[in-house]
Amino acid sequence: MKKWTFSIAMVILLYVGRRANAQLSNKFKVCAKFGTYNECQQLDRTNEIECKKNFHSVDCLINVNSGASSFGSVTAEEALLANPFLQNVVVLGEYRSEPYLDDSVFQTVVLVKSTYSGGFSGLSGARYCHPGFKYDLEVTDFLLKEFELQLFNSTSLNLCNAETTTSTLVEKHVKTLADFFGPSCRPGPLTEDVSFNQQLKESYPSLCELCSDNCAPFTDQLFMSSLICLTQKNGDVAVSSLNSVRNFFNISDNKDKAQNYRYLCKNGTVTTLDNPCVWSKQPWDLLIANNDIKDTLLPQVKVWLQSHSISEGGSYSAGSPLSPTSRESLISVLMPEDRKFKKIKFFDNPVNLTTYLSGLRNVSTATEAVQCGTTVNWCTVSNAEQEKCNWLAQAGANRGIQPIVNCVQATDKLSCISQIYNGVVDVVDIDTNFGYLARRNGLSALAFAETVTRNLTTVLIVVKSNTTDINIEGLKDKKGCFPEYAGIEWLAFANKIRPRSTCDLEVVVRDFVGDSCMPGAHSNDRRPVSNGYDSKLCGLCQVNPANQGSTATTCNTDSTNLFYGNEGALRCLQSTGEFAVISKNNYNVDPNEFRVLCANGSLALYTGFNVDQNCALTVVINSEVIVKNSNPKIKDLSIAIFEFERWFGQDSRKPFELFNQFNSTWDLLFKDSTPGLDSAQSQNQYVTNYKNQVSAVCSTSLSTKTAASLLTIFLAILSVRLNF
């Protein structure tokens, strides 16, 4: 009887458990972004709605599209970015602020004088009034340049044929405007490059002729400035917003002036001020959902958020209410900012995201936005990185950044280096571990990654803890263990032992060490010429026991090599080596088995890796963006890279995270620990340390043929000198 009672109880428990799990799996999942995790935790505690944490809104959008999340909030720019990529997202409603009746945040318009008959060619020589460029996420360069690009496309103006000093797209654009218009006011920065911006202002002064001092706008109210220019500086054409025009001409001093102007439409026609034609509309922030559950979700959300919805005279009774705690937590997750000033305008029927956005403005794909065939050809090394790169390309296009990114997938970073050298691609962010090989290929830094202290690369020479009476010179002919051949540890060691008169580091290292393990030393991809190789450089390497069935050589730069990587180099030292060169980190070894040999040749007083920076061979940044020195687009590339950093790295409300995980995957395009970028001229201490490391590198290609040709020329010169 007891057995039957126990069995029945187990069945009941299993049934109840399954019912509970089924209920849990049927719960709606709200997408929570970074900064709302506390509220998310409170929401989870109530067990009414499941909270799915995301680092940023792009991941939120991807998860809503896939169904991993049910619904969430996104900004207008985030929605515009996702539009070309996601087909399973619908809009439930808009987060509107007063006046609640407007169907968009703002609408751009173009004004001309009432005597203007239409078209674009007739604006040649006109006095152009532009609102200027300010740091605003909503008023993007795309919107601010929309009229100008339409002008180029609708006239005989050829942007690509503009003869300029730098041949950059930004200068071609500015010069074409300066040549077409008469005295104008187009204030604000033209590029993030301060010195280049000043150069452009000085080269094309007519674009500042109507402005205030120093090419400044007339007011801090962005769209009002161009209207002041239009009315007070006898302007002929102005870019503004519909609300600004209405407010401006509603001022008593300006009411009589309204009759002097008309709207210029995108198709070239003109209309009166009481019949406006808008160019683009900026969407509101949106409440989005997965398309597959929209019909069951919408009634629920209407009830949950009723206190923050725009009342339409009816009540929402179809859904089930939340507890007060859950309701407040949900509102905090969905509306972390400006809760007092925003209300939700729910749609009667959810609208597909693409359909919704197409009613507000034209959304060009990145490919359609390419100008003059000029692109930033960015090298990627995985499907996940290629996907993030495509999103970056679209983010740049939406922002109005030129050139547009074109993503080209390669197999690995070494392949990227080779493709940059051969002109197939333009840029890639590489670990400083590849800095030596990049320089051997004639490549250099376009930008350096800023690196927080905890992520700096600290290179150390390490010996066994019982080692005594040793210095760096005493390592000659000893067994060395390196994470990989031609990496940053190898480079720092080579620079320490090399005579100052040589840059042939491969030969220097080869002649200094005894039998060693330098993974990759046997690979032609890592050695410019064959004279730097000796079989002893792979003499200590061992096949990983986990890969005994592998036919790979023991010198591979992968897990088949037991001694590959920093931890592998320490295993090598524990096994048969006599010294190792590693980057400081927390490894799965006992640090007390090792002692650091300092750069000055003395042994550290204590065992372990905790030594100060003066003891290290070097302390450097962890990555850089590289480019070929002779690339004719190098100025364009630099402009684009730092525009990306400004809008997708620095700004707190950025629609795309350049230096963060993407689709739950880390370290794509850049290391996620990257806080920003430094210019190639940076004087940062750790950038300088890195520059010093790579400055001794001979610039040759990885081509044996090229190296052989140089050697032939050298021997011929030497022969001539000997004959003399």
What pLDDT is stored for residue 711 in this prediction? Answer: 37
Mean pLDDT of 664-677: 94
Tens-digit pLDDT profile for residues 533-562:
788 999 999 999 887 655 456 899 999 999
Mean pLDDT of 506-530: 87
- Looking at the structure, do residues 249 and 352 belong to the same domain, yes or no? no
Tens-digit pLDDT profile for residues 591-602:
999 999 999 999
What pLDDT is stored for residue 595 in this prediction? Answer: 97
> 3-state SS of the chain: helix, strand, coil percent to 5?
40, 15, 40
Residue 679 pairs with which residues in a beta bridge?
447
* 54/661 Cα distance (integer angstroms): 10
- Looking at the structure, do residues 142 and 270 belong to the same domain, yes or no? yes
Q: Is residue 174 part of a domain?
A: yes
- Cβ–Cβ < 8 Å for 441, 421: yes
Give the pLDDT band of residue 13 (cuts 50, 70, 90): very low
- Looking at the structure, do residues 408 and 467 belong to the same domain, yes or no? no
Tens-digit pLDDT profile for residues 192-228:
899 999 999 999 999 999 998 889 999 988 899 999 9
**What is the residue type of 288?**
I
- Looking at the structure, do residues 478 and 579 belong to the same domain, yes or no? yes
- Looking at the structure, do residues 277 and 307 belong to the same domain, yes or no? no
What pLDDT is stored for residue 700 in this prediction? Answer: 54
Among 20-29, 56-65, 635-644, the minimum mean pLDDT is found in: 20-29
- Cβ–Cβ < 8 Å for 270, 123: no
What pLDDT is stored for residue 184 in this prediction? Answer: 98
Count: domains in the chain: 4
Give the pLDDT band of residue 122 (cuts 50, 70, 90): very high
Which among 358, 384, 399 is the end of a domain?
358
Question: SS3 for 679-704, per residue?
Answer: ECCCCCHHHHHHHHHHCCCCCCCCCH
Among 70-74, 93-97, 526-530, 687-691, the minimum mean pLDDT is found in: 526-530
Q: Is residue 671 part of a domain?
A: no
What pLDDT is stored for residue 532 in this prediction? Answer: 57
The residue among 36 and 150 whose pLDDT is bigger is 150
Which among 261, 281, 301 is the end of a domain?
281
* 251/528 Cα distance (integer angstroms): 73
Helix axes 634-645, 169-180, angle to 10 degrees: 100
Helix axes 169-180, 146-154, angle to 10 degrees: 70
- Is 60 exceeded by the pLDDT of residue 47? yes
Q: Is residue 661 part of a domain?
A: no
- Looking at the structure, do residues 305 and 175 belong to the same domain, yes or no? no
Which among 301, 324, 358 is the end of a domain?
358
Name the burial class of residue 354, with classes exposed (0-12), middle (13-18) and buried (19+) by CB atoms within 10 angstroms of its CB.
middle
Among 21-25, 387-391, 452-456, 694-698, the minimum mean pLDDT is found in: 21-25
What pLDDT is stored for residue 713 in this prediction? Answer: 37
Long-range CB contacts (< 8 A, 24+ apart) of 355-361? 356/91, 356/283, 356/286, 357/79, 357/80, 357/83, 357/283, 360/104, 360/280, 360/281, 360/282, 360/283, 361/280, 361/281, 361/282
What pLDDT is stored for residue 138 in this prediction? Answer: 83
- Looking at the structure, do residues 218 and 159 belong to the same domain, yes or no? yes
Mean pLDDT of 668-678: 95
* 451/686 Cα distance (integer angstroms): 9
Q: How far is CA 585 from CA 98, 314, 374, 454, 573, in A?
A: 54, 62, 42, 10, 16
What pLDDT is stored for residue 358 in this prediction? Answer: 94
> Could you tell me which of 134, 136, 138 has the C-alpha nearest to residue 106?
138
What pLDDT is stored for residue 9 in this prediction? Answer: 47
- Looking at the structure, do residues 435 and 565 belong to the same domain, yes or no? no
Q: How far is CA 159 from the centre of its chain?
A: 28
Give the pLDDT band of residue 10 (cuts 50, 70, 90): very low
- Looking at the structure, do residues 207 and 66 belong to the same domain, yes or no? no
| DSSP annotation string for 8-66 | HHHHHHHHHHHHHHHHHHTS-EEEE-TT-HHHHHHHHHHTSSEEEE-SSHHHHHHHHHH
- Looking at the structure, do residues 436 and 392 belong to the same domain, yes or no? yes
What pLDDT is stored for residue 26 in this prediction? Answer: 67
Give the pLDDT band of residue 659 (cuts 50, 70, 90): very high
What pLDDT is stored for residue 696 in this prediction? Answer: 81
> Could you tell me which of 526, 536, 518, 645 has the C-alpha nearest to residue 582?
518
**CATH assignment at residue 274:** 3.40.190.10
- Is 80 exceeded by the pLDDT of residue 481? yes
Q: Is residue 659 part of a domain?
A: no
* 557/590 Cα distance (integer angstroms): 24
Give the dihedral sign, CA 150/151/155/158. negative
What pLDDT is stored for residue 66 in this prediction? Answer: 97
Tens-digit pLDDT profile for residues 102-117:
899 999 999 999 999 9
Tens-digit pLDDT profile for residues 160-174:
999 998 999 999 999
Q: Any idea which residue has 């940044």 for tokens?
A: 621
- Looking at the structure, do residues 152 and 245 belong to the same domain, yes or no? yes
To 5 degrees, how large is the angle CA 366–CA 370–CA 372?
A: 175
Question: SS3 for 517-574, per residue?
Answer: ECCCCCCCCCCCCHHHCCHHHHCCCCECHHHCCCCCCCCCCCCCECCCHHHHHHHHHH
Q: Are strands 579-583 and 480-481 parallel, antiparallel or unpaired?
A: parallel
Q: Is residue 479 part of a domain?
A: yes
Q: Is residue 707 part of a domain?
A: no
Q: Is residue 202 part of a domain?
A: yes
- Looking at the structure, do residues 265 and 287 belong to the same domain, yes or no? no
Q: Which of 271-292 are b and which e, b meaning 16 or more Cβ less than 10 Å from the residue's Cβ? A: eebeeebbbbbbbbbbbbbbbe
Residues 6+ apart with CB under 8 A from 526: 414, 437, 485, 486, 520
What pLDDT is stored for residue 714 in this prediction? Answer: 39
DSSP 311: P
* 256/259 Cα distance (integer angstroms): 7
Tens-digit pLDDT profile for residues 275-328:
999 999 999 999 999 999 999 999 999 999 998 888 654 455 566 788 888 898
Tens-digit pLDDT profile for residues 50-79:
999 888 889 999 999 999 999 999 999 999
What pLDDT is stored for residue 17 in this prediction? Answer: 40
What pLDDT is stored for residue 15 in this prediction? Answer: 40
Q: How far is CA 300 from CA 27, 45, 70, 90, in A?
A: 11, 19, 12, 16
Residue 237 pairs with which residues in a beta bridge?
112, 128
Residues spanned by the domain of 540 = 457-620
- Cβ–Cβ < 8 Å for 682, 450: no
What pLDDT is stored for residue 269 in this prediction? Answer: 98
Virtual torsion, Cα 416, 388, 624, 461, nearest 10 deg = -90
What pLDDT is stored for residue 109 in this prediction? Answer: 98
pLDDT, mean over the chain: 89
Q: Is residue 588 part of a domain?
A: yes
What pLDDT is stored for residue 150 in this prediction? Answer: 96
* 108/243 Cα distance (integer angstroms): 9
What pLDDT is stored for residue 41 in this prediction? Answer: 87
The residue among 186 and 526 whose pLDDT is bigger is 186
